[in-house]
Structure 1
Amino acid sequence: MALQLDARPPATPAPRNTRPSRAGRLSRIDAKYSPYLYIAPFFVIFAIFGAWPLAYTFWVSLHDWDLLGSDPTFIGAENYTRLLVDSDFWHSVVNTLGIFVLSTLPQLLAALWLANLLNRQLRMRTGWRMAVLVPNVTSTAAVAIVFGVLFGREFGMVNWLLDLVGVDGIEWKSNRFASWVAISTMVDWRWTGYNALIFLAAMQAIPRDLYEAAAIDGANRARQFWTITVPLLKPTIIFCVIISTIGGLQLFTEPRLFHSGTNAIRGGPMRESQTMTMYMFENAFAPYYNFGYGSAVAWLLFALIAIVAAINVLIIRRLGAGARPDTGKRKGGSR
């Protein structure tokens, strides 16, 4: 029987619909734009309560405005040129930097030591960790009142203790350097525990294998701390330095409440501890009500914070450049 072949051409498949479905389009749109939607509230709030007030303050600093009903008068950079020759302003700058140095450096070193201590196997570790945070949650006004009494001239406990060892009483509120020390002690007492908990959280994220390898190589705890803990804590140290710089240069409540009476906003009778924020308040509000001049002080304070923070970060990065934790590599490349 003869084989008959079908001469008909094979059927071609129907073309597929290459257009994406509605669900696929929505999925891609969601993956592309949802992250921006999630972070948008932060930028909206920052623009309203951060960027806009900052820009408005700069605009006000270019005007003469006494806040007592008169309209602002544009004077350009006159407020800034006046500040550069204002001896009281530079006095407040020196006070701010002096208190900042005396408070920030000991505070961060003590916090690092305290965090390393709390990171060990201690009894009631949770209780100790909660205890170091108590000064931070205490009211600033209460802390200032207590420390004001402790550093009192006639009946203060600090002068009483100094008298026991034969040291004459110190004028803590009328001596410039002494007032720096007293206020710095208050700041350190409040914020050391807070920074210690931040360091402690970062320490607990360090792998324990690194310490075990270092211990096998004969490294004691001190060497492990400086060769493993500190290098791996560099990002956290930078964060704490920046936060402490911002807070230290904006110091207002502690020196304001440390002094009492009519000289409180002046930081003492001779402006012994008046910071830049206190000088800004004095000029922008009572008793001078020069809002334009106070805004100029605020902008120079902002510039000072940015400069000091940048210098601190560069110093820390330079000190930590090339520092790597020793993971147990022995001589000859063996492990």
Structure 2
Amino acid sequence: MSAMSRPPVITPPPLAVPVRAPRRKNELQRTWPLYLSVAPFFVLFAIFGLFPLAFSLYLSFQKWDGIGPMMYVGWNQFSYLVTDSYFWQAIVNTLEIWLLATVPMICISVVLAFLLASPLVKVKRLYHIAFFLPHITSIVAIALVFGSLFSNQFGLINALLTALGLGRVAWLSQPWGMKFAIAAMILWRTIGYHALIFMAGIQSIPTTLYEAAQIDGASSRQIFFRVTLPLLRPVMLFTVITSTISGMQVFTEPQVLLGNDGGPGRGGMTIVLYLYQQAFGSYHFGYGAAIGWGLFVLIALFSLLNWLLIQRPGARA
């Protein structure tokens, strides 16, 4: 076939490629409603959380009475904090109150949770409400009630001791009496809450383990100590550390029960109460901020301890 007889080759016109918006702009248009929906939280956190935190750090390096001009003092307030005997007394008081409250709380909460998780207990919802009510009750109201219970002269507990032929106890005048009264308030307020946490941990344990233990002839006591307690180790670690952190921030109970001075001999002076006394009682706002950051270091150390215990081999039972 000759070149003249070949059909002409028709070249198709180029396809029109649509112009697309930049990918980054499309992603921004798609995600900005999501960012807008969570923006109120971050705005409020920046105003009421981040700014006070940064200002307290700045204030800890200043000497300020709340009215006059600030005076930069550097690390002097932290140096004084380390040597302040009242601060260390507040730490010791806080730890003693924590021991008096936390050790019985854990023991009683575990037993209550084990009994509440038993199938023999009926109307469990009622017990849930009863256990949780003290946790949401006003701490000031609780402190006022316990103040009348532990009153030195007309307290109900001293009246009961007198009826039994025993002597009165100066609960709100002796150091250990004050600590015991504060610990009793914390115990009553938190025992039901932690019992519900332990009960949730018990309910997460596979029932097959209990069935196997019963088939092997284990008693309820053996099941409790050999099955329940070992498997509750992570929950118990969480409870101990969180109760320690909250115990270091005890303020309302001693403040309402004993006043801003922590009672006679400062026997009920806690760390946060000492912070309040220095900042809002003596108008040493800079030193109060330094106490707050000292408390932050202590809480961070306990948080690190929690992390180290959880990371240990076999800790995640």
Deviations 1:242-271 (A, max 9, x none): 321221100000111112xxxx10111321
Cα 1:87–1:236 change in 2 (3 A) is: same
Q: Percent identity?
A: 41
1:38 is displaced (CA, Å) by 8.3
Runs of 4+ more than 4 Å apart: 24-48, 312-318
* Residues 89-118 of structure 1, C-alpha deviations (whole Å, 9 max, x = no match): 222111111111111222122212111111
For 1:243 and 1:79, the matched residues in 2 are separated by 29
Once the two structures are superposed, residues 132-173 of structure 1 have per-residue CA deviations (whole angstroms, 9 ceiling, x without a partner) of 112122221111111111111112121222234443211111
- CA gap of 1:244–1:265, structure 2 versus 1, over 3 A, is same
Q: Which residue of 2 aligns with 1:104?
A: 102
Q: Judge conservation of contact 2:62–2:73 (CA < 8 Å) in 1.
A: yes
Q: Hey, what does 2:264 align to over in structure 1?
A: 269
Please, what TM-score do these two structures have when normalized by structure 2? 0.83
CA contact (8 A) 2:233 2:315 kept: no
Counterpart of 2:174? 175
Aligned to 2:7: none
SS of 2:264's partner is: coil
Task: Report the Cα offset of residue 29 of structure 1.
Answer: 9.1
* 1:43-122 paired onto structure 2 within 5 Å: 46-67=45-66, 69-121=67-119, 122=121
The normalised TM-score by structure 1 is 0.79
Contact 1:280 1:298 in 2 (8 A): yes
* 1:231 and 1:323 in contact (8 A); partners too: no
Q: Shift of residue 322 of structure 1? A: 6.3
CA pair 42-241 structure 1, distance change in 2 beyond 3 A: farther
Name the residue aligned to 1:291.
285
CA displacement at 1:208 relative to structure 2: 1.3
Rate the CA distance shift 1:49–1:151 in 2: closer, same or farther, 3 A: same
**Alpha-carbon deviation of 1:73?**
1.3
Q: Does residue 1:139 correspond to 2:134, yes or no?
A: no
User: Does the 8 A contact of 1:152 with 1:172 survive in 2?
Assistant: yes
Per-residue CA deviation, residues 54-73 of structure 1 (Å, 9 max, x unaligned), is: 23211110111110x21211
Given that 2:57 and 2:293 are in contact with CA atoms closer than 8 Å, whether structure 1 keeps it comes out as yes
CA–CA separation in structure 1 for the residues paired with 2:62 and 2:31: 45
CA contact (8 A) 1:93 1:276 kept: yes
AA aligned opposite 1:224: I
Please state if 1:311 is matched with 2:305: yes
Query: Residue 27 and residue 206 in structure 1: after superposition, are their counterparts in 2 closer, same or farther (change >3 A)?
Result: farther
What RMSD over aligned residues (CA atoms) do the two structures have, in Å? 3.5
Aligned residues: 310
C-alpha distance in 2, partners of 1:96/1:66? 27
Contact 1:153 1:170 in 2 (8 A): yes
Question: What SS class does the counterpart of residue 70 from structure 1 fall into?
Answer: coil
Q: Contact between 1:245 and 1:309, CA under 8 Å: does it hold in 2?
A: no
2:257 and 2:126 map into 1 onto residues whose CA distance is: 31
Provide the C-alpha distance between the structure 1 equivalents of 2:232 and 2:97, rounded to a whole number of angstroms: 26
Unaligned runs of 5+ in 2: 1-17
Q: Which region of structure 1 is more displaced relative to structure 2, 247-256 or 134-143?
A: 134-143
SS in 1 for 2:266: coil
The residue matched to 1:110 in structure 2 has which SS? helix
Q: Report the CA distance between 1:34 and its aligned residue.
A: 10
Matching residue of 2:14 = none
* Structure 2 letter corresponding to 1:113: V
User: C-alpha distance in 1, partners of 2:29/2:200?
Assistant: 34
- Select which of 277, 285, 296 maps to 1:282: 277
1:12 is matched with none
Q: 1:3 corresponds to which residue?
A: none
1:134 and 1:157 mapped to 2: Cα distance?
23
CA distances 1:10-61 after superposition (whole Å, capped 9, x unpaired)? xxxxxxxxx9x99x99999999999999887766655544344223211110
Unaligned runs of 5+ in 1: 1-18, 325-335
Distance change >3 Å, CA 225–CA 42, structure 1 → 2: farther
Q: Residue by residue, what CA displacement relative to the aligned partner does 1:274-322 show, whole Å, maximum 9, x if unpaired?
A: 1111110111112x1111000001111111122234335645776x836
Distance verdict in 2 for CA 1:228–1:46, change over 3 Å: farther
Could you say if the C-alpha distance between residues 28 and 283 of structure 1 is closer, same or farther in structure 2, counting changes exceeding 3 Å?
Answer: closer
User: For residue 321 of structure 1, what is the aligned residue in structure 2?
Assistant: 314
| 1:313–1:159 distance in 2 versus 1, CA, 3 Å | farther
**Mapped partners of 1:57, 1:197: distance in 2:** 36
Does the 8 A contact of 2:112 with 2:195 survive in 1?
A: yes
The answer on whether the counterparts of 2:245 and 2:302 sit within 8 Å (CA) in structure 1 is no
Are the equivalent residues in 2 in contact too, given 1:211–1:228 (CA < 8 A)? yes
Q: Which amino acid aligns with 1:232?
A: L
